[in-house]
Amino acid sequence: MAELATERMVVTATPEQCFAVVSDIERYPEWAADIKQVVIERRDDEGRPGEATFRAGAFGRSTSYTLSYDFSKGPRILAWKQTAGDLTSKLDGSYRFDAAGDGGTEVTYTLEVELRVPLPGFIKRRAQSRIMHTALEELKARVESSLTT
């Protein structure tokens, strides 16, 4: 059964600046610690990544998965659905960016995960929470540092 979780964080940047960072999928290994490699499999008509395969560290081992991206609601939302994976059968999610005043953005990260290997619920929830919190912290650091350079 898939587990759905949502986490929010305020980033000191505009929604457009946040969207630009998460849309630059090829550069995830530069700032997302668990992402080791990204290969763009297909691009859409505007040259954006339509499908990408990731190699990442998860559960103490390496995992591979492919995500299909939906840019249709950008720059407010970037969504994805998993199309292939070795440890996960579902890794669907989205980033949503809402202006939070003072030039800040509330980033809402939603992730629905289903593992191929059964694990106790509390272990899945703990891993999912770590993934989400780390992803938001690393996104915040990347976006805010790109504004000072």
Q: Which residues, other chains included, contact 132 with Cβ-Cβ below 8 Å and sequence gap of 6+? A: 5, 7, 109, 111
Q: Where are the domains of the chain?
A: 3-32+70-148
Cα torsion at 120, 129, 37, 29 (round to 10°)? -160
The torsion of the CA quartet 13, 82, 66, 26, rounded to 10 degrees, works out to -10
pLDDT for the residue numbered 57: 84
Of the listed ranges 12-26, 55-69, 90-104, the least confidently predicted one is 55-69
pTM of the entire predicted model:
0.90
Banded model confidence at residue 119, pLDDT cuts 50, 70, 90:
confident
Cα separation of 118 and 59, whole Å? Answer: 13
**Average pLDDT in the chain:** 90
Res 120: pLDDT: 73
CATH code of domain 3-32+70-148: 3.30.530.20
Q: 113 falls in which pLDDT band (50, 70, 90)?
A: confident
Whether the predicted pLDDT of 59 surpasses 70: no
The answer to whether residues 12 and 103 touch, using CB atoms and an 8 Å cutoff, is yes
Overall average pLDDT of the 141-147 stretch: 91
- pLDDT on residue 6: 92
Q: What is the pLDDT of residues 11-52, one digit of tens each?
A: 999 999 999 999 999 999 999 988 999 999 999 999 999 999
